[in-house]
Amino acid sequence: MEGDEQYPLEFMENYSVIKLKETDDTVHVGLSDVNNYALIENLINFHKKKVVFYEIEKSELAGYLGERLSKSYSNDTGTLVQKDERILLDKLANDAPIVNLVNSIMIDAIRKEASDIHFEAGANDITVRYRIDGYLQTVHRLEKERFPAISSRLKIMANLNIMERRLPQDGRITVHIGDDMIDLRVSIVPIVDGESIVLRLFNKKKKPLNLDQLGLDEGELSLLRSMYHITHGIILSTGPTGSGKTTSLNAILREIRSDTLKIITIEDPVEYVTDGIDQIQTNEKIGLTFDSILRRVLRQDPDVIMVGEIRDSTTAELAMRAALTGHLVFSTLHTKDTVSVITRLKNMEIEPYLIAAVLKGAFAQRLVRKICVNCRESILPNSREQELFAKHNIKVDSLFCGKGCKTCNGTGYHGRTGIFELLATDDQIEEMILQGRKDSEIKAYIVSKGMKPLIINGLQKALQGVSTVAEIERVLAE
């Protein structure tokens, strides 16, 4: 059997197909089921040239595949190997060009610490973008003709149906590169010009951040710790998707874990595996939802429960009742600031008396890009920036920016940190909740007690040279 650029092994095994020979204008393909018209159509579209099909016996194909599987795939340039449902990405693959391309994009994104890779089919080309430090950057524009092959390769790696182009698909890939193990969640949706494919990257061996690495100052750390050094109640982390809520809650749980506490988490997904904590992954396909798991978790004699997200009234009611009956509960909500959690809970049909009784604290957060320390320079604030600082009664003489360098890929930013707003409830706040006072009134009270709103925290980060005013405004405007 010939064919310098053979199909990936996973594809050949799954679909009983093999490339026999390829010339400049014709591809000869052997397959065990010549009536598999969907596969035949896909191969014709993939090759973009004449395809001649031959019926071959499965036994003949199995023998050839057995020989291929027994060979070593590693050489001087490296390869991509499927083993025990894991993809080992140690070096660039030397297989077919499309495999090389997908491998190199994955490796490049991982080394640049991207959180997501976007493959988007356009009318004339393919756009490949990375999300780095929360910001999308275009890194490649590829020929439109390559998209079917890229899509098929990723679907094979994620064990998805390569023929399905009409419906969304979700899958998962695990890769090794060096000592790192990266979990990639794959989301594919059909769009007008083809498909949009997004890979979300999770580095399983990356050490999670501790509480004092999140961007909180000493006063904020002290206040936050005072909130959860209690035996029961609920503490809520709030902010938009991707604002670091899960990272913060996991840092808190790692800090409080001990042999005397039973800690259970309900997550979607489990992003950080932590010793000493029982972690449960939701799975809606089999009925493992936040609320259904929470009901059963309460029978596990827990001291501390973390619910990854309160998405509906049922979960909200269960979480609040758990806090009322002697458990310390942590969870997240999507609100713009700390005070808004009160209105959000009321909108979820939680009675004010229950909110007042169990809400012990909340913290809002955002992630802002940090100025690259390798190219940071001092600048004078412009008139608009001076007005912004004056509006908040903050004196400013100089600010900082990154001029762009190799380390930050010319962006002037490298890495991210958090800006925070903390609310610790007291008797007065409980009374205001019971009285149905407006969010603005409660916020005015806690600001008078020394709470720093997100904008103040952000401007202080700009003064310290941690971030820029433009970045603070961008994040808070989202």
pLDDT, tens digit (0-9, with 9 covering 90-100), for 231-242: 999 999 999 988
> In the structure, what pLDDT confidence band is assigned to residue 148 with cuts at 50, 70 and 90?
confident
Q: Which of 91-105, 337-351, 456-470 has the lowest mean pLDDT?
A: 91-105
pLDDT (mean) for 114-132: 95
**Can you give the pLDDT at residue 200?**
95
pLDDT (mean) for 434-447: 96
Provide CATH 3.40.50.300 ranges for the chain.
211-477
C-alpha gyration radius of the chain: 27
Q: 13-17, 79-83, 89-93, 127-131: which has the highest mean pLDDT? A: 127-131
Give the CATH class of 211-477: alpha beta
pLDDT, tens digit (0-9, with 9 covering 90-100), for 271-299: 888 999 999 999 888 889 999 999 999 99
Helix axes 340-347, 439-448, angle to 10 degrees: 150
Provide CATH 3.30.450.90 ranges for the chain.
72-205
Q: Where do we find the tokens 């010009």?
A: 193
Is the Cα torsion angle 218, 220, 222, 224 positive or negative in sign?
Answer: negative
Give the CATH architecture of domain 72-205: 2-Layer Sandwich (3.30)
Looking only at the bridges linking them, the beta strands covering 304-307 and 328-333 are parallel
- Report the chain's terminal Cα–Cα distance, integer Å: 57
> In the structure, what pLDDT confidence band is assigned to residue 62 with cuts at 50, 70 and 90?
low
Q: Are 372 and 410 in contact (CB under 8 A)?
A: no
pLDDT, tens digit (0-9, with 9 covering 90-100), for 445-456: 999 999 999 999
CATH number of 1-71: 3.30.300.160
Structure token digits, residue 93: 């693959």
pLDDT (mean) for 192-199: 94
pLDDT (mean) for 309-328: 96
Give the DSSP letter of residue 283.
B
